[in-house]
Structure formats: structure tokens, C-alpha cells
Structure 1
Amino acid sequence: MAERPRSAIVAGNGVVGLSVAIALQQRGVATTIVAPDADWRGASWGNAGHIAVEQVAPLASRATLRSLPARLFSRGGALALPSRDVATWLPFGLNLLRASAPDRFEAGKTALSALLATAMPAWRRLLDTAGRGDLLREDGHIVVWETPDSAARGRAAWGDSDIGTASLHDLTADELAAVAARVSVSLAGGVRFSGSGQIADPAALGEALAAIFARLGGRRRSGRAAMLTPTESGARVTLDGGGALDADVAVVAAGAASAPLLTPLGHHVPLIAERGYHLEAAPADWPRGLPPVVFEDRSMILTRFSGALRAASFVEFSTAGRAPDPRKWARLQGHLDALGIAFVEAPRPWMGARPTLPDYLPAIGRSHRHGAIAYGFGHQHLGLTLAATTGELLASYLTDGKSHIDLSPYDVARFGR
């Protein structure tokens, strides 16, 4: 694009899409969101609500590869590689193997650190704009272990890790007792992180972001973006139900559904649907003031939201359209039963797809093939964490031609073509 865009279309209304649309509208770009009329129940809603600024080390690493056998679902772990989807996850795994080379891992950590350092301030600005600063809780999070051996190994691992802008300390006796009082197993130790946070209510977050977008004058078109076409003056978005919209720029922010929009334009996008599961209900006894608690031995995180307690886990490399695997919910329920965590009603199950690229970095930028096509997707486990800053960075880049951090590491062209 040679000129500052006056109009934009954002394909997707998840937390990233909404953040991008709001940031563009704030900069005077008349923006339309294209998304189906459906409840906000994708990965933007179903995650653990954790603002994970401590996760600066990409999961594409030699350490992750070494740990894979012990993490397999068949061995009690949280990693599922369904045999029916081998044609999907095997090519992704080979790309992940290449991305795990030490030099690429270090470059990825540098790039991810730069993004994560901007995450919390961006959320403060966005939620202050929405008048919902109460939705951001900056109380950190807790990690606990159930055996002396796992506590020693886990504490050593976190002590040796780069955790970016976060910090941690060993749980005091009172802090450990506060968690231990809520479970029926013994806890051997734990740490508390500072600098991280959580969203108090994911559904309320979606409503707040949609409301501020509308208040700023943003528009919405019901439908699913089926095709992007460059035009002489910008880009055209064709909807699956018929009809099309034209704008100076079109932004792909459709999460796990983003690749089919860019592939026909000549981009190679090795995106996988990394599926997660949760159970949620009103708890019988879990205080609202307790920050998210990671039971690391079980690869499970418990988050207290305004009206419910959510238990989330699993990394299932699959396709977005596959039926959920009920064994995952059964495993989660087994963990909850073992911990003695009760609900006042039957927990509600959920499954959703995280959009993940093999180097575990997001794709943020503009197409080098078609300047009127931009994108923001592939945030893996960090979609909620990085949504607000992605919106600011991409909107600044599209309107001013620059951003306050270098976006080149997130260019989708890094995968070829």
C-alpha cells in the first residue's frame, strides 16, 4: 500500500480480530468485522484466562522434543497425537523439528520476548478504553507440585528459565496452605509468579471489546470470509453465503481458519489446530481471590472466573472439525476428583482449537505478495496474552508504516513463498 488506508475489513471476531479492529478504528480507519453470528465460544473464550508473560521460551525447542515421550496422553500426559490425524500432525512435527534448532530457538525467544514485554501494558490501555479495567487481574499465578521429586525438578527448571518481565518466589507457608486447603492431596511445594495476570471473565471480555468497537463507529457484517482477492484499489472479501466487501486493506485474523484465506494467494501457512479441552462449573469451594493455579504434575490449570471455576488442559494436534475426544474430559474429571475439587453442578465440557505455527511464533504483518492483505493469527497458547499488543502493533504498521518493535520475525514469508 502506497497510502494510509481509509477502510479495512477484519476477517474474524476472536480476541485478536477484535483487538485489531478496535486499534484500526481508533486510528481513523473505517473498519468492518466479518464473522458469523455465533456465540463467542472459540479459543478466545475457552482458554485458561491466563496472561502468560512468563512464557518467553517457544515450545519449538530441543527441550520440548526430549520431553515428548513422557508427555504423551497414552502415558498419562497432556499431549495427544491421534493416529487418525497423522497426515496432519506429522508434517507439522517435521517443521517443528526444524524450528527447534538452537539458533532458531534463540531467535524465536528474542522475538517472543519482545512481544510479551508489551502485553500487559497493551491490555491496560485497551481495557481502560473500554471502561473495563476490572476485567484485568494482575495478581500473578501459582505453580504447585505434589511430590518432593517433582517439586525439586520443577523448581529447578523454572529457576533456570528466562521468564521475561515476570518474577517468581517460593510459596510462603501461608500461600502454600491457602492452596492446600482447597485440595485433598498433599502439596510438596510451589512458586508464585508476579507480573502475569488473568482475565476475570472471558465472556464479559468479548462483550466489552464488541461494545467499544461499536462505540468507536466500527461495523459488523454477518458471514464467514471465504476468499480474499487483491483489487486495483485494495482488497475484496467474498463471503461464503454470497456477497462481497471491498476495502483498502483486509486483515486475516480468523484463528485456526486463517490458512485457507492466505494459501490461494501463494503463501505457505503450516498452521495446525492445536486443540485444548476444559471443564467448567460453579465451584463448591474455590475462592475468587485465588489466582490461577497450575498443577504441573497433571498439566492442568485451574482458573477462578467471576461465575465459574475452569479446569483446562491438553495439547491435541488434530484438525478443527474433528469430533472431540471424550477421554480428555474424563481425564480432566479424574484429576478434579483426585484433588477433591467439587462443583455445585455438573461441569460443562468444551473443546476448541488454538492456531499454532511450527516455530510457536505468531504471524503478524502484511503480505509481501499483495500489500492490501495483512494478517494477525497463529498465537498458539498466547492468543489471549498477545491480543491487545497485536492489535496495536498491526494497526500502527498499517497506518504509519512502522511499529515500536520489529515485525519481521513474525512475517508469514518465513515459511517460504
Structure 2
Amino acid sequence: MSSNQYTRERKEDKPVLAICYDFDKTLSPDDMQAQGYIQSVGYDVGEFWTESNGLASQNDMDQNLAYMLLMKKKAAGKLVFTRENLENYGAKVSLFPGVEDWFERIRTYGAEHGVIVEHYIISSGLKEMIEGTSVAKNGAFKRIYASSFYYDSDGVAEWPAQVVNYTNKTQFLFRIEKGVLDINDPGVNDSFAPDEIRVPFRNMVYIGDSDTDIPCMKLVNTYGGHSIGVYSAVTHDKAKVYKMMRDNRIRYYAMADYSDGAELDELIKAIIDRTAKNEALESKFFDCKNEQIRVDRQNSDDQKEKIELLIELESSRSFASTHATIEKMRRIETWTQEEREAIFEIALSNSQVRYIIGDLDVKMFYLGLLRNCQSLSEKAMEVNAMLEG
């Protein structure tokens, strides 16, 4: 498939702040599979994960592929393993306080302060279950990047379609950065000028709860963004966020309470405020930088014109062409010492120039060059003598 068949996001007139979330234990108190599905196939939650991790270990298998396979196998004879059923289980997933109205509330705050806020899920959990949650159904997320299944014509899962683990999570940050959101779009590898980046890393927030989020957290931190560790609003256990802070994986931590006025709410609003001010400065920087580039390019064009005129004057074989070239050269305000020396040499070596150096236009041009010399070289003194003679 060619790249022009993908829909890509373009750079906005306003700054975009991308807030990226893990799901399990970041937006929800527990693993999504443990909130109804595992129990429905007759398993204890702990036993399910022990068997799943053992399957991965014994077969040199990705742990996410292992749990997806086990979910499908254990459904046999108990429920039809369809997208619809997975979404129904997702609808039962509980969320931390404040999550229900968080996404629209933060978007609104951003809009009021001149910042477009977009919410993204980057999770090793199941996309179908996340899509079944009330917040997803209400349009909370710009994109959900998560593990998912391929389904047959009856909607029954047959094979993993996408597997997201803690290391390949980072690719989605680059997709968000460049506005290349389709997971198959190779444009994520394209080079973008700094002022063409849709969401620079400094305008990214990554919110997670554990070691599986570290690659994303580290990447966001490294490039000037904001990584936030959250700890459970149920247990209040801060051990993981302390470790992530100690290891420089996160810049901030807060309780996973998304209520209006809670610590996390105030932190995100402060980041939005900072983004608005910082992007105004960045915009000014790029204006200055682009002006400088335009001037440099213009100077480069001027330099090319000078070289062409020097060649034209040196090769002139008639008085008419010499006068025409001198007329063009008089329009140029600045000549370097090296260029002046070349022009003096032409006056001495080209008879067409030497014979008419006393003509008003040619004389005025050479007198102007002489006036701009801090000291007269041997060639300059010879030309000066010709003008005085």
C-alpha cells in the first residue's frame, strides 16, 4: 500500500499536547482481564497469570501472545470468543475516580488556554476491551494502541492482529509525534523538519504505573516531555513510583485520582499552561530561524550573481557589454576585499574595461570600490592612477 493512501494528521495552528496513557492500573485499578473475563472461564486470577507466564517461558514466547492464546483456548465450551463479548467484558471494567469525565474536562481546559489536548492509549491490554469501556464509547481517545485479535466473518477471534509489549510501545510515540497514526503507515520513518513536527516530544505526557511503561517514560523524558507515575487510589502504595523517581524514569508522581481539583488534575493543567507559554516562545524562535534561513539563502543567491558578473566583466569583448555589466554591478552594495581585487585585476587586464574606465558610469563604479578599501593594494593603486590620469 502506498503512503498516499493513509490519512495523516497535519500540524495545527495551535500547539497540540498529547497525553498518552497505559490502561491497567493507570486508568483502572486492576488488569482488565481480571475484572470478569478470567472468572467467567473458570479460573482464579492468580492461576491464570501463572499459567500464562509459564506458557511464555516454556516456549520462548511473548507474554502478551501467551495471555491472548490462553484467553482464546480457555473460552472454548464456555463462551464464544467474539469481539462483541470482549467489548461487553470491557464495559464492566472499573475506572479510577474522576476518569469518566477527565478526558473532556482536560480537553476543555486546554481549548480555553489555546492548546489542543489529545488523549491516546498505549497499552499491552486488549484493544477490544478498552473499546468497550464507557469512556472509549464516549470518544475519549484520539487513538487506542493496544493488543488485538483478527476476527472471521462471524466476528470470532482467530489470530492476534496486533501485539503491544513494553518495548514496541515506543513506536506509537513517534507516530503521534509525526501525525502518522495508522499502524501500517511507513511514513513514521520519514524525516520531518523541526518546525513541521505535529507533536514535539516536549508536548507529550506519558502516564503509567509500572516497569512496563519505562521505555516510553524514558523516551518522553529524554526529549523534554513529561512522564508521570501514578499510584493506586485504592492501596495508596507508592513503592513503584518511588523506584521510578529514584531511577529517573519519571518527572512527577501522583495518586491515580482524576477528579477535578485532585493533584493529578492540577499537575496536568500546569503542564497545559506551560505548553501554551513555551510554544509561543518556540513559535517566535522558528520565525526568527526561518527569517535567518531566508536571508542566508538570499545571500547565497547574491553571491552567485556576483560570480556571474565577475565572469561577465572579465570576458567582455565590447564597450556596450562592458557598460551593461557595470550597470548591473553598481546595483550591488557590498563587495568583499577579494572581490574588489578581482575587479581591479579585470580593469588592468581587459582592454575593453581599461579603455572606457574614464567613462562616467565605469569611473564612478571604480571610485566607489576604492573608497571602500581600508588600504590600497598594488592593483588598487594602479587603477586609482588610471582614474586620475
TM-score interval, normalised by the smaller of the two chains = under 0.3
Highest Rg: 1 or 2?
Answer: 2
Q: More relative contact order in 1 or in 2 (CA 8 Å, sep 6+)?
A: 1
The structure with the greater share of residues assigned to strand is 1
> TM-score, with normalisation over the residues of structure 1?
0.21
